[in-house]
Amino acid sequence: MEHDSSFLFSQFGRQIMGGQAGYGFDFPASTDPYELLRTVCARLPLLVVFYDNEGQIQSINQEVTSQLGWDTGDLLSRDFLSQCFPDSKTQRQIRYWMIHSPSGWQEIPVHSVDGQVLEMLWAFVRFPNGAGLMCGYNITDVKLTQAALLETSDRYALLTRGINDGIWDWNLTTNETFYSSRWKIILGYQDHEIGNHIDDWLKRIHPQDVERVKLNLMLHVRGQTPQFHQEFRIQHRNGSYRWVLARGLALRDAHGNATRVAGSLTDLTEHRPAEAQLLYDALHDSLTGLANRTLLFDRIEQAARHGRRRPDYKFAILFIDIDRFKVINDSFGHSWGDLILIELANRLTRIVRPDDTVARIGGDEFVILLDDISNNSDALGVCDRIHATLEKPFIVKDQLIRLRVSIGVATRSPHMDKAEDYLRNADIAMYQAKVAGGDRYQVFSEEMHLTARDRLSFEVGLRQAIERDELTLFYQPIYCLSDNRLYGFEALIRWQHPTQGLLLPDRFLPLAEETGLILPVGDWVIWRACRDLQHWQEQFPRWQLSVNVNLSNRQLMHPALVEQVVAALEQTQIPPDRLHLEITQSVGIDQPEQVRDRLLQLKAQGIKLSLDDFGTGHASLCYLANLPLDSLKVDRSFVKLITETAQQPPIIDAIVSLAKALHLEVVAEGVEHPYQVTRLRELGCDYAQGYYFSQPLSIEQVEALLAKKTSLN
Ligand code: C2E
Ligand code: CA
Ligand code: CA
């Protein structure tokens, strides 16, 4: 880190490092030189920190305490470096200087106990014995003065611009504003016809532009932009609007607070005839002034055309979407949301080259076209820069908030010309970045496109599946273990897909869950299962069968569920206790009361409730014991543990005993072997289903089974 105020160094260096032995003091021969140095340093108006040859802090002087507020004991007992320099990279750097560098100086800001950051110039001095000291000089004021000087010189550069520009100077303390004669002439007024208030300006700005001007002015006043620079329309005395460009710079006090803003006003109307204006409006986003979708599309297609002539030509599209922007908007209000968008637009514009296009194409969606890049990886560098620029918090209503964005990257593909396609690919990649947790970027790949397309057509297909009668139910028989009687069936959904054949639930239920389609699908299953049972009861009146229907968690918590189930039961005349609803163990762990209430409502109708896949989830026994259940289904992974050997895993016994203790009936799932049946029967398990008894059956197969059993009896 180089520092330009070398006068500081020489002055500072003389105090600490000049003279003999590298540390500048003539010691009486009898004195311990280090002790003497310590005594001297105690009185210096500089921060002094002594460390041993391993970089361990030995002592600090009074000035450290008074300037940084750190208590002596505090710093010596705790890690000095991490207290004062929270950034670990800085810490490493300092440690390096302490231990390895002979002598030198560095500009490193330091954190005080109350979180203030002081600009410091540090000298590092190594003693012959390997120990050393670092000595800090507070240059915060110097820095501020420097910055102010810089701004003032900029201001004069501004003021001396062509005589054609109007000049304005807004005093923030008094709110008075000076407008030069030329400023007033641009608007068609004589000197005495315009007041000296900031509103004399703002009230004449075009209603569509005024918010943007105010916001950008405010951002600059707060120090969030390096300068104020804004094109807008302002009303001329004759009523027409003229295009002007206002530029300005704030003058700040020692604390960085703006005291006045001054600048110029340039009349752009000549350069900007009405048609050009209309064109400008049509191609730009009115809130941020960035390119809009139309302009972006044009630029992308231009780049694609260019690429056809130059095969090695590369460009990239970055699709940027703010994570959880809705939450910010809802909690702070839309005008603050707008402010954030404007600020983000400014930051994005600052990190790309002037030739690149930054566009806003929707609420919180920004797109950058990086034109003519030398390498596709350049785009990733820009993504890193975007994330880095967001490390600096946004100030919203005096609160600091950090903005996170997800970015999707699509690079030039020789066979693709359409802007729409590029945008879609970048959007798909952005979506993947969101799915992966947000706050990251993702580069588009062809597989992503296929997955997205598959997903979409699959979703459309599933929506139509009900109307087109493509969903069917298979039924797996459940047997009573004590007398081998057929007890009922579990309804298992299948999708007879027009091109992909018979699909099992794991192929399409997750998507149905995600999209909410599980609600109409689940409703259909309940209704269909009741109707099928009704048919069998009519055909085979001797059988008293029940039907088990699986409920998804989302379906269980849907407000209309009870009503739907009751309607299905009433229409089909199925006694409620013949309908068994299976719920999964994971149901509503986060909202136990609501789940219990819902189950009680179902129970009040006389419906039976069963807990599916018992033993696989993480629900606590307490929670389960509290639910109004009738039975539980031991997951097939436990049944699988029952082998032919004499040694049996105690877990099965434990589960069955547990169910018995809770006064629940036990159904074993996935029974595949005769010895499993024997064992389950011994344990007192009530019912069982599985391939040993039967695979899930189609409706015709169920009817054949019932007919056969009827004739056998
Ligand atoms: P589940 O409730 O555990 O259903 C039992 C699954 O085990 C069924 O798979 C069944 O075919 C299979 N199975 C039955 N016997 C055996 C056996 O002996 N060995 C083995 N290895 N497997 C056996 P399926 O039909 O693929 O259903 C998978 C899951 O999909 C079901 O698991 C259930 O959670 C869900 N599901 C099925 N239909 C519906 C429905 O209509 N609504 C909801 N929400 N979920 C359903
Ligand atoms: Ca089930
Ligand atoms: Ca199950």
pLDDT digits (tens, 9 = 90+) for 637-691: 999 999 888 777 788 888 888 888 889 999 999 999 999 999 999 999 999 999 9
* Distance of alpha carbon 319 from alpha carbon 588, whole angstroms: 36
- Asked whether residue 697 carries a pLDDT value surpassing 80, the answer given is yes
pLDDT at 42: 76
* CATH among 1.10.150.20, 3.40.50.2000, 3.20.20.450, 3.30.310.220 for 459-712: 3.20.20.450
Q: Give 415's contacts (C-beta < 8 A, 6+ positions apart).
A: none
pLDDT in tens, 264-302: 898 887 666 666 667 777 888 988 889 999 999 999 999
Q: Say which CATH class 5-143 falls into.
A: alpha beta
Average pLDDT over residues 24-37: 60
* Distance of alpha carbon 147 from alpha carbon 253, whole angstroms: 10
Confidence label for 175 from pLDDT (cuts 50, 70 and 90): confident
- Asked whether residue 449 carries a pLDDT value surpassing 60, the answer given is yes
* Distance of alpha carbon 73 from alpha carbon 378, whole angstroms: 49
Sign of CA dihedral 274, 276, 282, 288: negative
Cβ of residue 493 lying under 6 Å from some atom of ligand 1: yes
- Asked whether residue 385 carries a pLDDT value surpassing 80, the answer given is yes
Ligand 1 mutation target, pool 462, 475, 479, 492, most atoms within 8 A of CB: 492
Ligand 1 atom closest to Cα of 474?
25
CATH number of the domain at 163-269, please? 3.30.450.20
Q: What is the DSSP string of 376-400?
A: THHHHHHHHHHHHHTSSPEEETTEE
* Distance of alpha carbon 137 from alpha carbon 139, whole angstroms: 6
* Distance of alpha carbon 399 from alpha carbon 405, whole angstroms: 19
| Pairing assessment for the beta strands 405-411 and 316-322 based on DSSP bridges | antiparallel
pLDDT at 23: 40
Closest CA to 322 of 409, 382, 402: 402
pLDDT in tens, 147-166: 776 666 555 555 545 457 88
Ligand 1 atom closest to Cα of 612?
2
Cβ of residue 525 lying under 6 Å from some atom of ligand 1: yes
pLDDT at 102: 64
pLDDT at 482: 94
Cβ of residue 610 lying under 6 Å from some atom of ligand 1: no
pLDDT in tens, 368-378: 999 989 988 89
Closest CA to 126 of 67, 193, 202, 54: 54
pLDDT at 8: 32
Three-state SS for 11-57 is: HHHHHHCCCHHHCCCCCCCCCCHHHHHHHHHHHCCCEEEEECCCCCE
What percentage of the chain has pLDDT greater than the value 90?
A: 41
Q: Give 435's contacts (C-beta < 8 A, 6+ positions apart).
A: none
Amino acid at 587: V
- Would you tell me the crossing angle of helices 518-539 and 446-467 to the nearest 10 degrees? 40
Cβ of residue 510 lying under 6 Å from some atom of ligand 1: no
Angstrom CA distances, 40 to 21, 37, 126, stand at: 16, 5, 17
pLDDT at 14: 35
| Residue whose CA is at the smallest distance from ligand 1 atom 38 | 492
pLDDT at 26: 46
Containing H/E element for 454? helix 446-467
| Residue whose CA is at the smallest distance from ligand 1 atom 7 | 670
Coil/strand/helix, residue 644: coil
Cβ of residue 551 lying under 6 Å from some atom of ligand 1: yes
* Distance of alpha carbon 340 from alpha carbon 345, whole angstroms: 8
Dihedral class, residue 192 (left if φ above 0, else alpha if ψ from -120 to 50, else beta): alpha
Q: Give 678's contacts (C-beta < 8 A, 6+ positions apart).
A: none
10 Å Cβ neighbour count for 311?
7
Cβ of residue 523 lying under 6 Å from some atom of ligand 1: no
Report which bound ligand comes closest to the CA of 491: 1
Mean pLDDT value across the chain: 85
* Distance of alpha carbon 138 from alpha carbon 639, whole angstroms: 74
| Residue whose CA is at the smallest distance from ligand 1 atom 19 | 670
Cβ of residue 694 lying under 6 Å from some atom of ligand 1: no
- Asked whether residue 3 carries a pLDDT value surpassing 60, the answer given is no
Half-sphere exposure of 633 (CA within 13 A, CB side): 26
* Distance of alpha carbon 562 from alpha carbon 605, whole angstroms: 9
- C-alpha 699 – ligand 2 centre gap (Å): 18
- Asked whether residue 27 carries a pLDDT value surpassing 60, the answer given is no
Token reading at 324: 């959880």
Confidence label for 582 from pLDDT (cuts 50, 70 and 90): very high
- Asked whether residue 101 carries a pLDDT value surpassing 90, the answer given is no
- C-alpha 667 – ligand 3 centre gap (Å): 10
pLDDT in tens, 517-551: 999 999 999 999 999 999 999 999 999 999 999 99
Ligand 1 atom closest to Cα of 505?
30
Question: 250, 322 in Cβ contact below 8 A?
Answer: no
Q: Give 341's contacts (C-beta < 8 A, 6+ positions apart).
A: 287, 288, 360, 364
Given this chain, do its domains 5-143 and 163-269 carry the same CATH topology?
yes
Coil/strand/helix, residue 80: helix
Coil/strand/helix, residue 91: helix
Cβ of residue 636 lying under 6 Å from some atom of ligand 1: yes
Superfamily of chain region 280-444: Reverse transcriptase/Diguanylate cyclase domain (3.30.70.270)
Domain ranges of the chain: 5-143, 163-269, 280-444, 459-712
Angle ∠(668,673,675) on CA atoms, nearest 5: 90
- C-alpha 612 – ligand 2 centre gap (Å): 5
Strands, DSSP E only, in 615-682? 631-634, 665-668
- C-alpha 454 – ligand 2 centre gap (Å): 28
Ligand 1 mutation target, pool 494, 518, 550, 695, most atoms within 8 A of CB: 550
- Asked whether residue 253 carries a pLDDT value surpassing 90, the answer given is no
| Residue whose CA is at the smallest distance from ligand 1 atom 34 | 550
Ligand 1 atom closest to Cα of 476?
14
Pick 400 or 378 by higher pLDDT. 378
Token reading at 104: 């030198």
Ligand 1 atom closest to Cα of 504?
26
- C-alpha 463 – ligand 1 centre gap (Å): 22
Cβ of residue 476 lying under 6 Å from some atom of ligand 1: yes
Residue with tokens 């639910």: 627
Pick 7 or 472 by higher pLDDT. 472
β-sheet bridge partners, residue 492? 474
